[in-house]
A and B are shown apart, each in its own frame.
Chain A
Amino acid sequence: MDVIVGVGDWLACAPLARSLEPGSARHRGALAVLASTLHLQRHLESPAPTLLEQLRDILAMLPVQLAHLEPTMAVAQWLSVAAAAEFVGEGRLAQLVLDDVRARLASPDVGVPAVDRQEWIAICWTRRGRLSRIAGHHEDARECYREAIRGIRALPWRDGRPLAELGLSALAASQGNFPAVARHAKAVLRVRPPVAAVHQVAAHQLMALVRKRAGHHLDALLHAWAAFDLVPQGDVRAVELMLSMAEIAVDLADWDAADHGFAAAFRLAGPVRLRVSALVGAVDAQTRRSYAGESRANSAQLKTYLRELARLAATDLAPRDAVRVRLALANGAILVGGPADQVTTQLDEAAALATRFQLYEHQFRVDESRARLRAMTTNDHRERPTRVAAGIAGASKAVSRHPALSRLLALSSR
């Protein structure tokens, strides 16, 4: 059990300062001082601007999740501090901040309507639930989300109620309980008047996941488009949705739509993780296309992707991304007929990383790729892709293509 009564306890357990890079030390130090300041407050006051300034770069990266809270309000600023703590991986510190905000809000305060206080307390509980869910403490997460709903059940849906329902939906997804995922997501989408766009987007994303799991790929695609149309321009979620839609196109074996989706996502992707996902997805789509017996769409484009992947492989990637990049490089090299030893090197590196970080699903994929390589090098025709006249297949796809897939095709030409 992890007992942290105050910031001092967290500091005593925090990673060694000397092992942190300067930015990381700055963030954690500022968060520690902020959390301690809040802990000493009797009433909720805004955090010190000089300390918030130390977190400016993180705060700018945080997605907007609350539609009804003025960002300049003290409660909104402290929720941002908690979100920043979560962002740098200090969930326990984030929880301390949220609980202290909740404790301050529990005291009746002149000038703050009880309805608002209840709503803000509910938001704190949804954030606590999220922290527990991400940490794998599912029972605790459920209690936190339910607590949020208990406090505002009779109130109109603003931010607290949708976040609680979406949290329960995401929790159900973690547990593979897809009927419950749908139930909670639909509850958010059914509300009239409709909830804020940010919550509808999340609900549609969850419904896309449910429909995809049920094998109803076109329904999943429609939900993804519904979410896409609600996302503001330039929002990183637009790229995430493009990637999801491209992956659905792969499942539907619409290789052209998938290629266009991944290309559009790569063009717009800012964060490294999204660039990795776009490139890996594009190579994966081409690999699957090839082994489905259709000709590769664009080998020049594939080589461009492989060059970019090689560049990323040389950078400091998160473990999962590092494995995926190496797998994609190996599979791409197989497709373009690259030297077997180069492929083997990439697969060995991917395997070592997958073992080290216990990424079991990627270990399985490494084995698949090794089998493919063996088939290629031993000239085993059973596993070699056969080429089919793509023209006929492509033409029939163009005729029967669903509008949602046509729309994906049109994305990269914008």
Chain B
Amino acid sequence: MHITANALDAVDFLQSSIDTCIVFPVPADADVDALTRFLQLRSQYPNVPVIALYSASRSSCRATLQLGAAGVGQIVNAEPMVRAGDLQTALVRCHGDGIAIRLWRHCDFELPERLIPVLKAALRLAHQPLTVDRLGSATGMHQRTLRKYCAQEGLPSPQWIIGWARLLVAGYYLDEPGRTVAQVAEVLAFPSACALRNQLRRYSSVASRALRAAGTARMLARAMEQAVAGSVALAAARFRGPSHNADP
């Protein structure tokens, strides 16, 4: 952790490192300079996750909203003190969001427009076993409503989307040569290394070793696109209705 006393130092640090997260105290209404500095920092580094520290005795609610509009991942209540557990959870969530953003850009998906928001939400939540209920919550729907939505829009089922999202995140980590399948399976709470390998092979039709050699995340992304195309075509055929000739 690097603690800086001013924005210039922060910029220096950000320029010389990656995988950083900004932890910024929410200023008071009177501290216009602090807000201005944050907004400038944010405009220069829009992709760095931000955790805002709120203190009832020093922070302004309006400034919280202004920081949030500029992009804040998490807000941690700092009174009476910052709890280590809260900060840790906030950092983990920011990290997960960052991975999801990078994965999305790296894989350069070509997917139906309607699928994209659901998949993006799933990727952000995919570091833990993810339920349809949780994904429904992120999309503002009861899980049954989400299932109906996917069916009506000709999309794959939410469970299918979750499966792929979890696999894509696993693929992102497997692209780091220092990690083993067992480690990735444990970190992402897959049942076992074997289960992860089987799922990789089942979804991509390629063994995990071959995937790693070619770039796991990208290979999985291409496999997913093909699977989605097939799934969408199947749904379209199902809803096409009777194919009789209307002419007598």
Contacts and interface: CB of A to CB of B under 8 A. Distances in A.
B67 to A, nearest CB: 8
A36 B148 CA distance: 30
B241 interface: no
Contact of A30 (B61, B118, B138): B61
A11 B67 CA distance: 8
B183 interface: no
A27 B61 CA distance: 8
A319 interface: no
Q: Is the interface of A mostly helix, strand, loop or mixed?
A: helix
A156 interface: no
A182 B57 CA distance: 52
Interface string A20-38: 1010011111101100110
Interface in B126-168: 134, 137-142, 144-145, 148
Given A17-B65, A29-B65, A33-B64, A144 B77 contact: no
A76 B97 CA distance: 31
B142 A143 contact: yes
Interface stretch (A2-10, A324-332, A339-347, A405-413): A2-10
A51 to B, nearest CB: 7
Contacts of B120: 3
Contacts of A147: 142
A16 interface: yes
Given A3-B120, A33-B75, A14 B65 contact: yes
A140 B145 CA distance: 6
A60 interface: no
Interface stretch (B84-92, B184-192, B204-212): B84-92
B125 interface: yes
A2 B139 contact: yes
Interface string B34-66: 000000000000000000001011001111111
Contacts of B141: 137, 140
Given A2-B139, A33-B64, A42-B85, A7 B117 contact: no
A12 interface: yes
B121 A48 contact: no
A293 B102 CA distance: 75
A32 B74 contact: no
Interface residues of A, number: 48
A7 B75 contact: yes
B142 A140 contact: yes
Given A5-B121, A25-B61, A29-B62, A40 B142 contact: no
A3 B61 contact: no
B56 A50 contact: yes
B79 interface: yes
Contacts of A99: 137
B76 interface: yes
A32 to B, nearest CB: 6
Interface in A24-68: 25-30, 32-33, 36-37, 39-42, 48, 50-51, 54
B215 interface: no
B78 to A, nearest CB: 10
A144 to B, nearest CB: 5
B218 interface: no
A103 B138 CA distance: 13
Contacts of A33: 54, 61, 64, 75, 77
Contacts of A137: 141, 145
A399 interface: no
B76 to A, nearest CB: 7
Given A32-B75, A40-B89, A50-B56, A3 B64 contact: no
5 contacts: A11-B68, A12-B71, A33-B77, A37-B86, A143-B144
Interface of A: 1-8, 10-12, 14, 16-18, 20, 22, 25-30, 32-33, 36-37, 39-42, 48, 50-51, 54, 92, 95-96, 99, 103, 128, 132, 137, 139-140, 143-144, 147
